[in-house]
Each structure stands twice: as structure tokens, then as C-alpha cells.
């Protein structure tokens, strides 16, 4: 399995939730399944998400990373392939702050809270 960390925004997450699955542009691959390697990939994707949200209005500047597992690095992905979503707990979080973990069955609740 290949794990990809996809940087996005809350608005894109809501749009993608209404569609078949997440957009995979800018996905960061974890080189292996080691905890440190996966954390580094997550934080690299979080940095990319920070760039996406930097110009957004208040209430929307939270980093979002969707974690996808597929058989191959270039495979398409649907919501069934998403294993977790990581989101800042507040706007303009420090780049060193950890992201909150959301299970896939909680994404609808996350979007509804926007």
C-alpha cells in the first residue's frame, strides 16, 4: 500500500466530500511506513496546506491534510481510500502545532461545523 498525504483547505474538503473523493494534487508520499517518515510526510503536506490557506478569510485558515492509502502511488482515490483527515484546531496555528485527527466517519461532522 502507498500512503499519500494530501494538502487541502476546509472549503476544498467540503467540495470533495460532495464529490467522489479527494483531489490528489500536491500529495506527499511517505517513503516507508515508519512512524517518523509518516510524520515528516504529514508535516510537509501541512506546510503545503498552510500556503493554500494563507490568503483565506478568518475562520478558514486551518491547515487540512487528507491521508489516502492506495495500491499504487498513481492510483485514483475515493473516500473509501481515505484513512484519516488531520486539521488544525484553530485559525493561524503555529507551524509546529500538531494537527487534530479526524476519522473518516467524522468528516461530515467536521464539514457541518464550518
Q: What is the pLDDT of residue 84?
A: 95
- pLDDT at residue 7 tops 90: yes
The span from the CA of 25 to the CA of 27, in Å, is 6
Place of cell 498552510: 50
The pLDDT > 90 percentage for the chain reads 65
Give 60's pLDDT tier (boundaries 50, 70, 90).
Answer: confident
CA angle 4, 47, 73 (to 5 degrees): 15
Paired strand residues for 100: 87
Q: What is the pLDDT of residue 8?
A: 96
The pLDDT > 70 percentage for the chain reads 100
Alpha helices in 1-114 (DSSP H): 10-18, 35-53, 107-112
Amino acid at each position: 500500500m502507498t500512503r499519500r498525504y494530501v494538502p487541502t483547505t476546509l472549503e476544498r474538503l467540503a467540495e470533495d466530500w460532495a464529490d467522489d473523493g479527494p483531489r490528489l494534487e500536491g500529495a506527499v508520499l511517505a517513503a516507508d511506513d515508519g512512524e517518523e517518515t509518516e510524520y515528516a510526510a504529514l508535516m510537509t503536506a501541512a506546510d503545503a496546506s498552510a500556503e493554500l490557506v494563507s490568503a483565506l478569510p478568518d475562520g478558514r485558515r486551518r491547515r487540512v491534510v487528507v491521508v489516502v492509502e492506495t495500491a499504487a502511488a498513481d492510483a485514483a482515490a475515493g473516500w473509501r481510500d481515505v484513512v484519516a483527515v488531520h486539521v488544525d484546531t484553530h485559525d493561524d496555528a503555529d507551524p509546529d502545532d500538531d494537527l487534530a485527527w479526524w476519522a473518516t466517519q467524522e468528516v461530515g461532522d467536521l464539514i457541518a461545523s464550518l
